């Protein structure tokens, strides 16, 4: 993988820059910030709610939603203060960056896809997700993933088309992606982020629900062999995840 592609795929700010350049309809307004002033000017232009988050971290770390100016002051100050420390703890060997973007409302989904060396994309079915924010928590951990998506065939295809645009924007080939998407309250798919990895527990769920061998497909993608995805839904599958409210010692 070229260095520039690797840089883009591991940085949420660079991802959104490429989305804007290639398919602006799949993303939302965003900005890199270094001080509270940058966040404040963004909020004045786009209004609330907005999200503040690091550019290079995963699993919802330091991701905060701001519904008003008071929360913006509190959350931006906290993230800017803690981001260097968390980068070091997570062994992220990049200069810490923080971005702010318009909050994407609606139901979250994810899609695992295989991209061959020529850039041809094969998608697995859309997976429905429930995140902690949906349940009233302040963070954005994944609490539930399940098949089927319960989307109409037309809407599912729109989600897959949106994922294809995101992958093409990043110019990734010969790899597997896990893309998170939201279908907004206006029924429009918007990209949250693209990850170069299979989705968690997806192998077991795809085998149960569609008799699709995700592990073999991942290996075949990396070794430039054909993949096989079956579209006929067989039975429901789901993976709940449990997160402690606070750290304790056992």
Q: What is the pLDDT of residues 80-96, one digit of tens each?
A: 999 999 888 888 888 88
Question: What pLDDT sits at residue 4?
Answer: 83
Q: Is residue 245 part of a domain?
A: no
For residue 248, being part of any structural domain is answered with no
Q: Looking at residue 90, what is its pLDDT?
A: 82
Closest C-alpha among 191, 33, 17 to residue 99: 33
Is 57 among the domain residues? Answer: yes
- Domain co-membership, 130 together with 86: no
pLDDT digits (tens, 9 = 90+) for 12-45: 899 999 999 999 999 999 999 999 999 999 999 9
pLDDT at 114 over 90: yes
Residue 120 lies in a domain: yes
Residue 226 domain flag? yes
| pLDDT tens track for 157-195 | 999 999 999 999 999 999 999 999 999 999 999 999 999
Helix and strand numbers (H, E) in the chain are 7, 11
Same domain membership, residue 123 and residue 63: no
Task: Determine the structural domain holding residue 153 and report its residue range.
Answer: 107-240
CB-hemisphere CA count at 13 Å for 169? Answer: 27
Mean pLDDT of 141-150: 90
Flag whether pLDDT at 59 surpasses 80.
Answer: no
Statement to judge: residues 236 and 163 lie in one domain: yes
Q: Is 58 helix (H, G, I), strand (E, B) or coil?
A: coil
User: Where residue 62 sits, what CATH number does that domain have?
Assistant: 3.30.1490.20
Q: Which of 4, 2, 30, 3 is nearest to 16 (CA)?
A: 30
Q: Are residues 114 and 163 in the same domain?
A: yes
Q: Per-residue pLDDT averaged across 223-245, rounded?
A: 91
Q: What is the pLDDT of residue 187?
A: 95
Mean of pLDDT values over 48-54: 93
Q: How far apart are CA 19 and CA 125, in angstroms?
A: 22
Task: Clarify whether residues 131 and 93 are in a common domain.
Answer: no
CA distance 84 to 38: 18
Quickly tell me which residue has 């949906």 as its tokens.
Answer: 134
Same domain, residue pair 222 and 138: yes
Q: Measuring CA to CA, how many Å separate 78 from each of 72, 75, 88, 91, 247?
A: 10, 5, 16, 20, 19
Collapsing DSSP to helix, strand or coil, 88 comes out as helix
Asked whether 111 and 181 are in contact (CB, 8 A), the reply is yes
Q: Is 80 inside any structural domain?
A: yes
Domains held by the chain: number: 2
> For residue 200, what pLDDT is reported?
86
Half-sphere exposure for 26 (CA within 13 Å, toward CB): 28
Among the candidates 75, 102, 129, a domain finishes at 102
Mark whether 42 and 116 lie in a shared domain. Answer: no
Q: Are residues 56 and 115 in the same domain?
A: no
Looking at 60, 76, 102, which one is the last position of a domain? 102
**134 and 235 both lie in a single domain:** yes
pTM tops 0.85, yes or no: yes
**Domain termination site, one of 102, 134, 151:** 102
- The yes-or-no verdict on residue 136 having pLDDT over 70 is no
The answer to whether the peptide bond before residue 148 is cis (omega within 30 degrees of 0) is yes
In this prediction, residues 191-206 reach a mean pLDDT of: 94
197 and 115: one domain?
A: yes
Same domain for 87 and 117?
Answer: no
Residue 2 lies in a domain: no
pLDDT exceeds 80 at position 140: no
Query: Are residues 127 and 92 part of one domain?
Result: no
Distance between CA atoms of 188 and 196, rounded to whole angstroms? 24
Residue 7 lies in a domain: no
């Amino acid at each position: 993988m070229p260095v520039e592609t690797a840089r883009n795929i591991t940085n949420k700010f660079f991802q959104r820059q490429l989305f804007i350049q290639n398919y602006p309809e799949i993303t939302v307004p965003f900005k890199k910030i270094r001080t509270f002033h940058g966040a404040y000017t963004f909020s004045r232009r786009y209004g609330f709610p907005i999200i503040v988050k690091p550019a290079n971290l995963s699993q919802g770390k330091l991701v905060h939603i701001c519904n008003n100016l008071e929360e913006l002051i509190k959350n931006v100050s906290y993230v800017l203060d803690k981001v260097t420390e968390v980068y070091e703890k997570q062994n992220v060997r990049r200069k810490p960056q923080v971005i702010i973007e318009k909050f994407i409302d609606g139901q979250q989904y994810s899609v695992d896809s295989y991209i061959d060396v020529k850039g041809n994309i094969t998608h697995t079915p859309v997976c429905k997700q429930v995140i902690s924010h949906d349940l009233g928590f302040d963070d954005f951990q994944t609490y539930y993933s399940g098949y089927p998506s319960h989307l109409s065939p037309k809407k599912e295809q729109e989600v897959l088309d949106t994922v294809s645009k995101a992958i093409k924007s990043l110019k990734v080939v010969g790899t597997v992606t896990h893309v998170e998407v939201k279908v907004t309250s206006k029924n429009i798919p918007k990209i949250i982020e693209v990850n170069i990895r299979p989705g968690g527990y997806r192998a077991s769920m795809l085998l149960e629900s569609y008799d699709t061998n995700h592990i073999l497909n991942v290996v075949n993608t990396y070794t430039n062999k054909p993949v096989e995805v079956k579209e006929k839904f067989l039975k429901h599958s789901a993976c709940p995840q449990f997160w402690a409210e606070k750290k304790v010692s056992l």
